[in-house]
Amino acid sequence: MEVLLAPVVGLLFACAVYLLLQRSLGHVIIGLALLSNAANLFIFVASGLGDGAAPIVDPLTKMTPEGSADPVPQALILTAIVIGFGVLAFFITLAYRVYRITGTDDLEALPAADRPSAEEDGQLA
């Protein structure tokens, strides 16, 4: 089934990257959300898919079910989902601040606000 899902991972990454490369902040936000989804699915698929049983140990046999999923990537992804949410929230707030301060959502217009003015430049030199 990995063969079926690998192109989906690729497509997720491709769409995320396409959005990240756009000029408007709104697109970049959507791209970032897609990117963390893409990364999570990537870890999940790349580590191999089981037959659908959860990695829960049977207290009697002290074994996980035959063909159960690998718990290690799941532990990684679980925290990654929550952290990705935190990062996305942070980025959105940052974008909000940037938009409120600069009045533009065009990333190519931001450098003008970023660079020190000619006067400040003179003081630095």
Site for other proteins in 39-68 (CB under 8 A): 40-42, 44-59, 62-64, 68
Note whether 102 binds other proteins by CB under 8 A.
no
Longest dimension (CA), the chain: 76
> To the nearest whole angstrom, how small is the minimum distance from the Cβ of residue 83 to other proteins?
6
Interface with other proteins (CB under 8 A), residue total: 91
Shortest CA distance to 5 belongs to which of 59, 45, 51? 45
Note whether 116 binds other proteins by CB under 8 A.
no
Note whether 83 binds other proteins by CB under 8 A.
yes
Of the pair 58, 119, the CB lying nearest other proteins is at 58
Note whether 8 binds other proteins by CB under 8 A.
yes
> To the nearest whole angstrom, how small is the minimum distance from the Cβ of residue 76 to other proteins?
9
Q: Which long-range contacts (CB under 8 A, 24 or more apart) does 37-41 make?
A: 37/12, 37/84, 38/9, 38/12, 38/13, 39/80, 39/84, 40/77, 40/80, 40/81, 40/84, 41/5, 41/8, 41/9, 41/12
Note whether 120 binds other proteins by CB under 8 A.
no
